[in-house]
Structure 1
Amino acid sequence: MRTLVLIHGRSQQRKDSKALKQEWLDALHTGFRAAGLDVDLPTEQVRFPYYGDTLDDLVKNAGGKPAEVIIQSAGEPNPAELEFLAAAVSDTVATVGLTEEDIRAHAEDGAVVEQGVQNWPWVLAALRALENVPGLGNASLALATLDVYRYLRNPGIQTIIEGGVRKAFDSAGEFVVVGHSLGSVVAYDVLRRRAAAEGWSAPHFVTVGSPLAVGTIVEALAPIGTPDGVRTWFNAYDPQDVVSLHPLDEAHFPVTPAIENVTVHNGTPNRHGIVGYLSDPTVASRIHAALTD
């Protein structure tokens, strides 16, 4: 059986890494049972690189309305971050079908005129409007997008996170890699840049709740491509999960060979939680097949 590498996303700071790993495994075993699979996955067969505390400084204020938390976290975003976030929010607004009237209704002064970083009140109003779309939850798109931006653009953060994740791999044996949320970006980036050079064998890649198809993230990662050595790539997303707004398909994340995309219903309150993805029988059965084929 291959070794399973689980790469978590944001908001995992100050947590017990062993307990967090067990939460993932419990959810996965729930999915195994739902799929009718009798699987005993030893914990030593699973590696869980933990980098949650590294991201702790990215979000300093956990209180207040989510839209306001965005500009209070780690100081006000700089112009490049604002432009990145504004583009992601605009993409989301268009995809879920919000109108300018919807957004104007959530502006503090009613004077929202145009999209983009040039009109930051529009971005905040759009985030507030997204809060009221059923299933979209708590502005996790904005927080996840800023974290992705800082990971991709801050060499210090990237180096520390990559250093921790690389310890989960070695040149012996084969790996199945599962990345959730920001963790899917980290997993993709590390595999793409390091797998061949380090001699890692990771033939099967699984992403869940992934923001990789957000337009600004695709642009930041360009040129995109399947990481060396990956033979199959399975992606699961809930259409109501605002972070994984688009499938990783030809229109949004064109790579060869094509990624297999499956829609699932994530039963967690924000439709983005890892438990809701791993406990899904389709996701669990694909992970099991990747481990044992």
Structure 2
Amino acid sequence: MVGILLVHGRSRPLFGPVEMKEQWLVALRGGFEAAGLEVPFADEDVRLPWYGGNLSHLVGGVARAEAERVSLRGDLPRDEREFVAEVVRAVAAELAFTPEQLDRVTDPADAGAREGDWGRVRTVLAAVDAYVPGMSGATVAFVARECFGYLTDARLRQMIDDGVAHAAPASGPVIVLGHSLGALIAYRVLRSHPAARSWDVPLLLTMGAPLGWPPVIRALDRLETRRLPAAVGSWVNVRDPRDAVTAGGVDGTLLPVGTVDEEAGVVNPDDGRHAIEYYLADPLVAGHVAAALER
């Protein structure tokens, strides 16, 4: 039997591993039903390694309001601040905000802020809130800071990678699904972890992946040579173009053109462009998982 490994991003408040797995499975089954496909897996075939408790300190605490205040203040160490600012510049370029749009959402305290100033970062995040239904600037900042923490804290990275690697089935093929920060973690584990060298992964499917962000790519370059993980038969990257976390995609940014199958036609509802439940409930995702399970 083919196993399924779910690699998550930031947890919602009050969510734990049981609740998150249930949410993912309900959404994935909904995608199979929408595609007119039978659900060919049981709950016990699906594993979700849990590291949500290790992520809260990366964005300033468990409470969303406090994390948002930390992010918008920009009261961060210099290297983290520069990382987030570069991510925000890439997002602004991808979403192509006009000067007039930015002027309309600029706080008076940030008027006249230049490229590279934190006031400019706040303005772009406010533009995401104003002009991209279902997407928030806080989400962009959260994910950027999570990526920075994971990529620069070797102890945290090793702890998370070990947990993901050891959660995989001991034998047989496994499909790996990664969302948001989980997409970055899934790539790293498959690319570098010793335990993953013997895996058989017919499909790596990433959703809402921040793998096209320039500072993420540079940080990965400092850790290892970028390439398709040897265990992976096929990599599909699914994204909603209005999900700002996915700016740049994966094919042609992280990896050479033609390496990754980019599925950029997903349109998630306006109440959650980056939401995992909408990605998983898309019939396109179900089709790719079903095809891999059949193989």
TM-score w.r.t. length of structure 1 = 0.90
Q: How far off is 1:155 after superposition? A: 1.4
Verify: 1:121 aligned to 2:128, yes or no: no
In structure 1, what is the Cα distance between the partners aligned to 2:34 and 2:86? 39
- Share of identical aligned residues, percent? 33
Q: CA RMSD for the aligned pairs?
A: 2.2
> Is this contact kept in 2: 1:195–1:227, CA < 8 A?
no
In structure 2, what is the Cα distance between the partners aligned to 1:186 and 1:241? 19
In structure 2, what is the Cα distance between the partners aligned to 1:65 and 1:46? 31
Q: Deviations over 1:56-79 (max 9, x none)?
A: 22232422794x34156xx93211
After TM superposition, the structure 1 stretch with the greater mean CA deviation from structure 2, 163-172 or 81-90, is: 163-172
In structure 2, what is the Cα distance between the partners aligned to 1:197 and 1:275? 27
Q: How far off is 1:136 after superposition? A: 5.3
Q: How far off is 1:39 after superposition? A: 1.8
* SS at structure 1 position matched to 2:246: coil
Residues 175 and 64 of structure 1: CA distance in aligned 2, closer, same or farther (over 3 Å): closer
* SS at structure 2 position matched to 1:109: helix
Residues 58 and 64 of structure 1: CA distance in aligned 2, closer, same or farther (over 3 Å): closer
Structure 2 residue ranges without an equivalent (≥5):
none
After TM superposition, the structure 1 stretch with the greater mean CA deviation from structure 2, 281-290 or 238-247, is: 238-247
- Give the 5 Å matches for 1:151-190: 151-190=150-189
In structure 2, what is the Cα distance between the partners aligned to 1:3 and 1:65? 35
Instruction: In structure 2, give the amino acid aligned to 1:181.
Output: S
* SS at structure 1 position matched to 2:101: helix
In structure 1, what is the Cα distance between the partners aligned to 2:5 and 2:292? 12
Greater helix fraction, Structure 1 or Structure 2: 2
Instruction: In structure 2, give the amino acid aligned to 1:253.
Output: L
Verify: 1:279 aligned to 2:281, yes or no: yes
Q: Deviations over 1:108-147 (max 9, x none)?
A: 325334212xx22211222122211132522211110110
Instruction: In structure 2, give the amino acid aligned to 1:237.
Output: R
Q: Deviations over 1:232-283 (max 9, x none)?
A: 0011100111111232222x23337521111211126121111101111111
TM-score w.r.t. length of structure 2 = 0.89
Q: How far off is 1:54 after superposition? A: 1.1
- Give the 5 Å matches for 1:1-293: 1-12=1-12, 14-59=14-59, 60=61, 61-63=63-65, 66=68, 68-71=69-72, 76-105=75-104, 106-116=106-116, 119-135=117-133, 137-139=135-137, 140-194=139-193, 198-222=197-221, 223-250=225-252, 252-255=253-256, 258-262=259-263, 263-267=265-269, 269-293=271-295
In structure 2, what is the Cα distance between the partners aligned to 1:208 and 1:99? 28
Count of residues in Structure 1 that have an aligned counterpart in Structure 2? 287
4+ residue segments displaced more than 6 Å: none
Q: Deviations over 1:35-65 (max 9, x none)?
A: 1111242111111111111112223242279
> Is this contact kept in 2: 1:136–1:270, CA < 8 A?
yes
Residues 285 and 111 of structure 1: CA distance in aligned 2, closer, same or farther (over 3 Å): same
